[in-house]
Amino acid sequence: MIEATDQNFETEVLKSNIPVLVDFWAAWCGPCRMIEPVVEEFARDFEGRIKAVKLDVDANQSAAGRFAIRSIPSLLFFKEGRLANQIVGACTKSQLVSMAEEILAG
């Protein structure tokens, strides 16, 4: 998975030619670590169709603030530079897959 930062957010996420899942997380966040394998598996399954990136909210407060991230984990889907959907809190792979399929179909 790609590490998104305040510096590369525009390029990696907003200007991506495919939809992007951004995992807003922090090293100290237990639920973030809990869903990490789920997000990584999702990233492998959707490789080439949806880009998956991680953004550490502690190190990249500008991007986190821009999207009003108040709770982590927060998983935001972007399509064509715009926020398309989001999940706040831990989630299952099936929830991610369902949301991804909606975004790819629409």
Ordered by start, the domain boundaries in the chain are 2-105
- What element of type H or E holds 43? helix 30-45
Q: What is the pLDDT of residue 106?
A: 83
Residue 102 has pLDDT above 90, yes or no: yes
Q: pLDDT band at 19, cuts 50/70/90?
A: very high
Q: pLDDT band at 28, cuts 50/70/90?
A: very high
**Is residue 91 flagged as an active site residue?**
no
Q: What is the pLDDT of residue 1?
A: 87
2-105 carries CATH number 3.10.20.30: no
Q: pLDDT tens digits, residue range 67-85?
A: 999 999 999 999 999 999 9
Q: What is the pLDDT of residue 70?
A: 94
Which two three-digit tokens encode residue 17? 């030619």
Residue in 29, 64, 75, 96 annotated catalytic: 29
Q: How much is the pTM?
A: 0.96
Q: pLDDT tens digits, residue range 31-62?
A: 999 999 999 999 999 999 999 999 999 999 99
**Is residue 29 flagged as an active site residue?**
yes
Cα distances (angstroms) measured from residue 72 to each of 1, 40, 83, 89 = 18, 17, 17, 6
Residue in 20, 22, 32, 69 annotated catalytic: 32
